[in-house]
């Protein structure tokens, strides 16, 4: 294959959702509103957990990191899409596309690991309450979050270095609203066998291991809750897991649904609308899920806004 069309000299086109002018205006307003709600809601969670000493606990330390990851996660894709919708330009440079892809992989991986860490925290709190304070000490909590960052970053760097080895041929059109790894690999005109193997292996390991940890943690939690004699005790133990379970369900069902549906239909153009669920809707709903049922968060937010709890 001739090397003259190598992507270092090229630009990508993000096709997005629709070319209808009227719909473009509607989409701009819709996604701008969702983006602002997501940023505001998640930053409130972060500020509440930092300013209220009652929330200086492992559970809320992990929650604040998840909220920060959500802010970064949605900020890798939506601002560029809003600019494209407003200016009616779909061009993204090669370097910007690689950067967007890398940051997206970093923060989606970080969110995946943080959800697993939070499941382990709930497992320790419910199944081993007497050892919880000693086991979930500040040093371990920091190490768990730091390990999540490092692992997600290494995967992002690996995938980025693999894409750098590829050559691309025109037309460089991505049927999505951001530079997604799988579709960038599909655009390559060089051999992508190694890229596919690395991509699917990393997805299987980095997606399967945290999900397995979550399932194992909750299987132990359910077994432990069943041994509690009083109904009130069972409800209290289970209520501490409802918010996390809701976020896990939303994140994994939407993300897995996108890839399984696209694999079944072989329609790459259906990915963009479906991907909105886990790239936009999930980060937007997370602060509502955690705050509406959590009295500690509600109390901290009232104090933050200067109202007596």
Please report the DSSP string for 269-283 in residue order: GGHHHHHHIIIIIHH
Q: Which two structure tokens, joined as six digits, stand for 307? A: 């109202």
Residue 107 backbone zone (phi > 0: left; psi -120 to 50: alpha; other: beta): alpha
Give the pLDDT of residue 114. 96
Residue 3 carries which DSSP code? G
**112-121 pLDDT per residue, tens:** 999 999 999 9
- pLDDT confidence band for 44 (50 / 70 / 90): very high
- Asked if 82 contacts 31 with a C-beta cutoff of 8 angstroms, the reply is yes
What 3-state class would DSSP assign to 227? coil
Q: Which of 124, 102, 39 is nearest to 74 (CA)?
A: 39
User: Cα dist. 170→9, 10, 79, 117, 141 in Å?
Assistant: 12, 9, 26, 43, 48
**54-99 pLDDT per residue, tens:** 899 999 999 999 999 999 999 999 999 999 888 888 899 999 999 9
Place of tokens 């892809």: 101
Give the pLDDT of residue 260. 65
**125-171 pLDDT per residue, tens:** 999 999 999 999 999 999 999 999 999 999 999 999 999 999 887 77
Percent of residues, the chain, with pLDDT higher than 90: 52
Tell whether the model's pLDDT for residue 308 goes beyond 90. no
Strand partners, 268: none
- Tell whether the torsion through CA atoms of 51, 288, 78 and 253 is positive or negative: positive
Give the pLDDT of residue 6. 47
For residue 235, with 0-12 CB atoms within 10 Å meaning exposed, 13-18 middle and 19 or more buried, which class applies? exposed
Q: What is the C-alpha separation between 145 and 230, in angstroms, rounded?
A: 35
What 3-state class would DSSP assign to 92? strand
Tell whether the model's pLDDT for residue 305 goes beyond 50. yes
- Asked if 192 contacts 28 with a C-beta cutoff of 8 angstroms, the reply is no
Strands 11-14, 91-93: pairing is antiparallel
Tell whether the model's pLDDT for residue 270 goes beyond 60. no
Give the pLDDT of residue 2. 44
Tell whether the model's pLDDT for residue 21 goes beyond 70. no
pTM recorded for the entire structure: 0.91
- Tell whether the torsion through CA atoms of 232, 236, 239 and 241 is positive or negative: negative
Strand partners, 173: 13
Q: What is the C-alpha separation between 177 and 77, in angstroms, rounded?
A: 7
| DSSP state letters, 152-186 | HHHHHHHHHHHHHT--B-S--EESSSS--HHHHHH
Q: What number is the average pLDDT over the span 227-255?
A: 85
Sequence-distant (6+) residues with CB within 8 A of 41 are 284, 286, 287, 288, 291
Percent of residues, the chain, with pLDDT higher than 70: 90
Q: What number is the average pLDDT over the span 267-276?
A: 67
**165-212 pLDDT per residue, tens:** 998 877 788 888 899 898 888 888 888 999 999 998 998 898 899 999
Kindly report the average pLDDT of the chain as a whole number: 87
| Domains observed in the chain | 9-304 (1.20.1070.10)
């Amino acid at each position: 294959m001739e090397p003259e069309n190598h992507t270092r000299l090229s630009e990508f086109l993000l096709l997005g959702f629709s070319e209808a002018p009227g719909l473009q205006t509607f989409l701009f307003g819709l996604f701008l509103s969702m983006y602002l709600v997501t940023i505001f809601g998640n930053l409130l969670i972060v500020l509440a957990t930092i300013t209220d000493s009652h929330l200086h606990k492992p559970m809320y330390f992990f929650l604040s990191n998840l909220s920060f990851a959500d802010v970064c996660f949605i900020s890798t894709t939506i601002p560029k899409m809003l600019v494209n919708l407003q200016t009616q330009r779909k061009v993204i440079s090669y370097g910007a596309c690689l950067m967007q892809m890398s940051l997206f992989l970093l923060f989606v991986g970080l969110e995946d690991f943080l959800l697993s860490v939070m499941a382990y925290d709930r497992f320790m709190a419910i199944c081993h309450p007497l050892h919880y304070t000693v086991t979930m000490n500040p040093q371990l909590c920091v190490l768990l979050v730091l390990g999540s960052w490092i692992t997600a970053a290494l995967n992002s760097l690996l995938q980025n270095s693999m894409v750098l080895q590829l050559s691309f041929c025109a037309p460089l059109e991505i049927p999505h609203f951001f530079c997604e790894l799988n579709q960038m690999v599909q655009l390559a005109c060089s051999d992508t066998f190694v890229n596919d193997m690395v991509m699917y292996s990393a997805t299987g390991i980095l997606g399967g291991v945290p999900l397995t940890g979550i399932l194992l943690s909750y299987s132990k939690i359910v077994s432990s809750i069943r041994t509690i004699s009083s109904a009130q005790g069972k409800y209290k133990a289970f209520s501490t897991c409802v918010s996390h379970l809701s976020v896990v369900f939303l994140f994994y069902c939407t993300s897995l649904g996108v890839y399984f549906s696209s694999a079944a239909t072989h329609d790459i153009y259906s990915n963009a609308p479906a991907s909105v669920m886990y790239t936009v809707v999930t980060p937007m709903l997370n602060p509502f899920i955690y705050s509406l049922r959590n009295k500690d968060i509600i109390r901290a937010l009232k104090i933050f806004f200067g109202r007596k709890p």
